[in-house]
């Protein structure tokens, strides 16, 4: 029996998703280096992403390509053909997410890349999480709608003291202080974020701190965490929720906004872990419910994962639009890396392999029941 060559194997898999090598449709792959096939066979999606960064292949619509690859489960079907070198790489280079001595590593690696990049790519408020696209027309409106949705879900009122865990450049803190008269403590592990947050929130009832969540020990009327839980790490979930419980007043609400995986216990994506978000791991619904059991009542669970596809595509549109201003500081390989990051993630959300959860928790149940907000 003749075994397929790496090229034959990959071509046959792509055919299942109606993807052609050197085809003329937007989602077809144009190969510039024939070594691509051996590289992907040896290193899976890590090699595929690195090969794109190196210019070995191109595609007019990377998002649609990745959507088709994931929708047809090509990585799962190819698992038997992935070499032991990839498995060894993942097991020996993956570091568990969330350990305290690595808490500031994500800030240094990702969020300190440069405020110029994020100012131009994001909306006017610099919100680096999924927007809420119900009844809106653009990215600015989607992010305002999301921030307002969060405020309404926690029942925010003037004078309330709120903790934002991993609040970045202070987008939620600024919105909650301006629109609702709240007093907000915003913590981040990125010095670049805190410095800019202090500028953006000047004159408002906002305190921005360079601080790990484990070092917070005071009471708040409400707590939110928007897009930070992905960096906590599965083994630290119970500690995380213990700290939230410790800091939340008995009648307060906690809103958790996080990307979610459809499966528990998966190994983090090696390309994302190496180039974008080191030491990160996506939670599953089961892992979240296990961690909150005995600590919180789940009052509301809202999944609007498809909105992240729209958000990422809007970020990509801005990134492409402003790349001429950014190019001198970042270079061509960064451009390809960042483009692949945004578009491949959009494809993943489009394929519904990853979700976006907003979960509202109370410590002992809202008297008379929680009124869901959508």
User: Would you name the residues annotated as active-site residues?
Assistant: 345
> DSSP letters of 306-328?
HHHHHHHHHHHHHHHHHHHHHHH
CA distance 196 to 161: 22
Give 209's contacts (C-beta < 8 A, 6+ positions apart).
185, 186, 187, 188, 194
Q: How far apart are the C-alpha atoms of 166 and 189, rounded to whole Å? A: 7
Q: How far apart are CA 89 and CA 279, in angstroms?
A: 15
Q: Is 240 exposed, middle or buried (0-12, 13-18, 19+ CB in 10 A)?
A: buried
Q: Which residues contact 238 (CB under 8 A, 6 or more apart)?
A: 291
What count of Cα atoms within 13 Å lies in the side-chain half-sphere of residue 225?
A: 23
| CA 157 to chain CA centroid, nearest Å | 29
* Closest among 303, 299, 283, 286 to 349, alpha carbons compared: 303
Cα 203 to chain centroid distance, Å, stands at 30
């Amino acid at each position: 029996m003749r075994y397929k060559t790496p090229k034959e194997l990959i071509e046959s898999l792509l055919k299942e998703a109606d993807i052609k090598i050197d085809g003329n449709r937007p989602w077809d792959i144009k190969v510039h280096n024939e070594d691509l096939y051996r590289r992907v066979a040896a290193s899976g999606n890590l090699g595929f992403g690195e090969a794109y960064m190196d210019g070995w292949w191109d595609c007019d619509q990377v998002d649609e390509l990745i959507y088709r690859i994931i929708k047809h489960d090509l990585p799962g079907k190819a698992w038997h053909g992935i070499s032991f070198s990839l498995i060894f790489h993942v097991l020996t280079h993956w570091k568990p997410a969330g350990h305290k001595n690595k808490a500031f590593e994500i800030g240094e690696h990702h969020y300190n890349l440069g405020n110029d990049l994020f100012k131009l790519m994001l909306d006017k408020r610099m919100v680096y999480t999924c927007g809420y696209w119900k009844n809106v027309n653009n990215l600015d409106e989607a992010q305002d709608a999301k921030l307002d949705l969060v405020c309404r879900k926690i029942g925010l009122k003037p004078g309330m003291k709120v903790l934002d865990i991993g609040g970045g450049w202070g987008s939620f803190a600024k919105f909650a202080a301006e629109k609702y008269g709240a007093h907000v403590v915003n913590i981040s592990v990125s010095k670049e974020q805190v410095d800019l947050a202090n500028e953006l929130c000047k004159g408002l009832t906002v305190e921005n701190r360079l601080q790990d969540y484990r070092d917070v020990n005071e009471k708040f009327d409400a707590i939110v965490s928007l897009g930070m839980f992905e960096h906590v790490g599965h083994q630290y979930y119970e500690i995380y929720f213990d700290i939230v419980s410790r800091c939340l007043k008995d009648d307060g609400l906690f809103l958790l906004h996080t990307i979610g995986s459809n499966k528990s216990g998966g190994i983090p994506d090696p390309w994302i872990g190496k180039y974008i978000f080191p030491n990160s791991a996506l939670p599953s619904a089961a892992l979240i419910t296990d961690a909150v059991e005995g600590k919180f009542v789940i009052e509301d669970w809202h999944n609007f994962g498809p909105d992240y596809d729209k958000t990422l595509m809007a970020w990509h549109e801005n990134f492409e639009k402003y790349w001429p201003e950014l190019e001198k500081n970042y270079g061509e390989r960064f451009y390809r890396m960042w483009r692949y990051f945004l578009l491949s993630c959009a494809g993943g959300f489009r394929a519904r392999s990853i979700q976006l959860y907003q979960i509202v928790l109370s410590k002992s149940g809202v008297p008379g029941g929680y009124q869901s907000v959508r």
